[in-house]
Structure 1
Amino acid sequence: MLALDDITVVSLESGISAPLCTRMLGDFGAEVIKVERPDVGDVNRHWDSVVYGDSSAHVWVDRNKLSVELNLKSDAGLELFRELAAEADVVVQNYSPGVVERLGVGYDDVAAINEDVIYLNVSGYGRDGPYSDRKAYDMVMQGETGLILMNGSPDAPAKIPLSVCDINAATYGTISALLALFHRERTGEGQELDVTMFGGMLSWLGYFPQKYWHSDELPERIGMRHHLLTPYGPHETADDQYVNFAVLSEAHWELLCEAVLERPDLLADERFATNEKRVENRGALEPMIESRIADEPRDYWAERLAEAGIPWGDVNRLDDVLDHPQTEHLDLVKELETEDGPVPYIDNPIDSDSLEFAAAPMPDLGEHTDDVLDALGYSSEEREALRESGAI
């Protein structure tokens, strides 16, 4: 049995944040009905065509869903949505600010016909406040929440290549929906939820706000090094590879100097007596570490770091990661069977002896419109009339 069997999710979604959220709910067993614009669909369907003509983003975020084409600007299409929403446990939306209210599919509209519904709004900044009318995308939000200016090398900022702000909102959206379902199980009450990319990313800023509030310190761009710890991060070896290690304690520091680098003199240097002092004097310390690592090949350092018990690893390319022995051991790459051929995907990483997860391929645009309307009681003649009117 899947954990969310008998839970129905209806989603007005676009891009990555809400679609990834509902995909995770679908992974857990919910029936996810993805409502899409007729003949157009979600924008994520059109970003590339590398998977048998489908986009890589669509394959990533849209498995375990049913696709229904509805024209919400038509009276008949709007009525169909209301019929779906009336039976839904969860409604998710991440349309541009104000759109669901103008269409008549916002929380108040849905709650009027489904009082115990859980209605999740995923947005950039929230539905009120000075930025509530702004559209938000991952790149925009990386800039707004400080990520770009703290990421990169000293001579150039950089965005994080993953859609980290979208993934953040999707994760908090999934958590909030599960919490609300648990709350409803206990109380019988539905509710409206708001998850914002802005708030989510602020919650991920870690210790940097504390550093600012208590020492007026803004994070500088330090490339592959760590703002709070040193030595830390990838170091280039004599054979043009990298060895990546983390010194997290004074015990690690002593082992690194004595057993790995064979530089016990560093332990006697007052500039490096504590981690705070090492960070303060990183300009002197890090070039010495980098120079020493550059003297020997990767395998030399890997053996020494492993023997010393210092956390270390390689710096892999994407193809290395997908073929990684631990990827194979954890059975993380699975395949979806589609009419066009097998589609590999990264499986849900939760490992459990009791929980099961769904694995249905991503839907073609409108693939399930007739099936869903048939389940609502519409005859083939009625469906054809809706199609001719442009409602579906």
Structure 2
Amino acid sequence: MKKQLLEGIRVIDFTWHLTGPLTTKHLSDLGAEVIRVESMRSPDIQRLGGLLGSFNQYNSSKKAITLNLKTPEGLEICKKLIAKCDVLVENFAGGAIDRMGLSYDVVSKIKPDIIMCSSCMQGQTGPFAKHPGSGHKLTALCGFNHVYGWPDRGPGWIGAYTDFIAPRYNIIAIMAALEYRRRTGKGQYLDMSQYEGGLQFMSPSILEYVVNGRIQERMGNRSDYAAPNNAYRCKGEERWCAVTVATEEEWVAFCKAIGKPELAANPKFANFRARKANETELDEVVTAWTSVRTAEEVMDTLQKVGVAAAVVATGEDLMDKDPQIQYRGSFVKVNHPEYPEKVKKPIYRTQTGSHFQMSKYTPTITPVPKLGEHNEYVYKELCGLSDAEYDKMVEKGVFQ
């Protein structure tokens, strides 16, 4: 059996919802033994969707235990497990893990070289450190909602965007800490602010204010540096193609590609300033060409002449029609944990695999665990409970 990239690394996972599970998913998919700590009294909200909902997407290749940390026995057993782990990851609200009796001061005494990653809204220090919330609100706080949408409407709803930014920074920090420990033998505490991670993607707006004293506003699909720049209606119901023309060379190529080379010299569109001044009319010209062609035809025609264009993809496009994704095997099929093998559709597709390809390594992705599926393995083999001790804890509700 091939050796996994992170084989030998054990992670105790107190995460829930999106940011935390996405962080540990990339560790488990690469071979780390990730043990999710959950409670039957309060399971991860992602488990509550139909057939486990998005829980399937974010928890592949992990193990799962249930434990009631509100009992003295549960907390003591948890500490035994921590002593066997290399990394601890949690994404509760700031200060919550401390109140549970598992602060870094506590766990580092149990396992001095442990790496503990806390990923909360705004970090563990500062006046707003203990603010609870989710990515939906943090996305607004970072400023994404302010610039998302149309100038004649209120801020747009972009969803929990920061929940998909923060895991990348968490993973980088954990891997750096593992390398630091390899060289020095020392563990450390990683205080990760999802807020600060999100701000990196707002740099243009921040610079616009700091350098020019201007507040960036909503502009719909318009761009400060490209015209045409929009999602253009194509042939078929709700089919669109995004097109961006950023240089004069691209503009000339675009005009030739749509069969109107004379547009390149039209005073209304002859240069970027003119195209911006007449952008509404320009969009009408482009739409007249795209609306009688499929989105795929528009994309292919423009890409061949060096103009950036892409189909505005639907879920169906991504899962069943995109030849690039299919060729690279981006979505990985695994058996669904709630279906027996004989059921007609026992598989589901993970959110995607490892998000990268390596020439000398391919990760092995396994199904998401059932709630408490690995209780006996973890408590008996790792924590050293005898059968009698395990049964007694079950009776007392410690594993609820």
Same-fold call, TM > 0.5? yes
For 1:131-280, list aligned pairs within 5 A.
131-154=128-151, 155-161=153-159, 163-237=160-234, 241-260=239-258, 262=260, 264=262, 267=265, 269=267, 273-274=271-272, 277=273
Does residue 1:317 correspond to 2:314, yes or no? Answer: yes
d(CA) in 2 for partners of 1:90 and 1:119?
Answer: 6
Counterpart in the other structure of 1:2: 4
Indicate if the aligned counterparts of 2:252 and 2:264 stay in contact, CA closer than 8 A.
no
Partner of 2:38: 36
- Kept in 2, the 8 Å contact 1:62–1:362? The answer is yes
- Verify the 8 A CA contact 2:263 2:269 in the aligned structure 1: no
| Local SS of the residue matching 2:165 | helix
Cross-structure match for 2:393: 386
- Which deviates further from its counterpart, 225-234 or 117-126? 225-234
User: What is the deviation of 1:308?
Assistant: 2.4
- Could you tell me how far apart the structure 1 residues matched to 2:36 and 2:396 are? 21
Q: Runs of 4 or more off by more than 6 Å in structure 1? A: none
The C-alpha deviation readout for 1:196-226, integer Å capped at 9, x for no partner, is 1100100111422222222223222222333
Structure 1: which amino acid aligns with 2:72? D
Further displaced range: 300-309 or 143-152: 300-309
Rounded Cα–Cα distance in structure 1 between residues aligned with 2:8 and 2:236: 56
Q: Aligned partners of 1:130 and 1:308: how far apart in 2?
A: 53
Question: Does the residue aligned with 2:198 lie in a helix, a strand or coil?
Answer: helix
Q: Which residue in 2 is equivalent to 1:367?
A: 373
The reply on whether 1:127 has 2:124 as its aligned counterpart is yes
Three-state SS of the structure 2 residue aligned to 1:374 is helix
- Once residues 272 and 201 of structure 1 are traced to their aligned partners in structure 2, the CA distance between those partners, rounded to angstroms, is 38
Q: Do 1:237 and 1:295's aligned partners in 2 also have CA atoms closer than 8 Å?
A: no
Query: What is the match of residue 293 of structure 1?
Result: 286
User: What CA deviation, in whole Å up to 9, does each residue of 1:151-206 have, x standing for no partner?
Assistant: 12222422224x32111111111111111101111121111001111001001114
Q: How far did residue 259 of structure 1 move? A: 4.7
The residue number in structure 2 matching 1:107 is 104
Percent identity among equivalent residues? 26
The one-letter code of the counterpart of 1:17 is: T
Closer/same/farther in 2, CA of residues 194 and 315 from structure 1, 3 Å limit? same
**2:343 is the counterpart of 1:342:** no
Query: What TM-score does the superposition give when structure 2 sets the normalisation length?
Result: 0.89
Q: Which amino acid aligns with 1:343?
A: Y
Q: Which moved more, 1:33-42 or 1:196-205?
A: 33-42
Q: Deviations over 1:324-378 (max 9, x none)?
A: 1112111122221235022222322211231231312111111111110111221
From the superposition, tell whether residues 136 and 229 of structure 1 become closer, same or farther in structure 2 (CA, over 3 Å).
farther
CA distance in 2, matches of 1:389, 1:180: 38
Q: Bigger shift: 74-83 or 230-239?
A: 230-239
Q: Shift of residue 74 of structure 1? A: 1.2
The answer on whether the counterparts of 1:152 and 1:222 sit within 8 Å (CA) in structure 2 is: yes
RMSD between aligned residues: 2.2
**Partner SS, residue 210 of structure 1:** helix
Counterpart code for 2:377:
D
SS of residue in 1 equivalent to 2:254 = helix
In the superposition, the TM-score normalised over structure 1's length comes to 0.90
Q: 10-19 or 343-352, which moves further after superposition? A: 343-352
**Equivalent position of 1:328 in the other structure:** 326
Partner SS, residue 207 of structure 1: helix
Asked if the contact 1:261–1:292 (Cα under 8 Å) also holds between the matched residues in 2, the reply is no
1: CA distance between counterparts of 2:63 and 2:305?
52
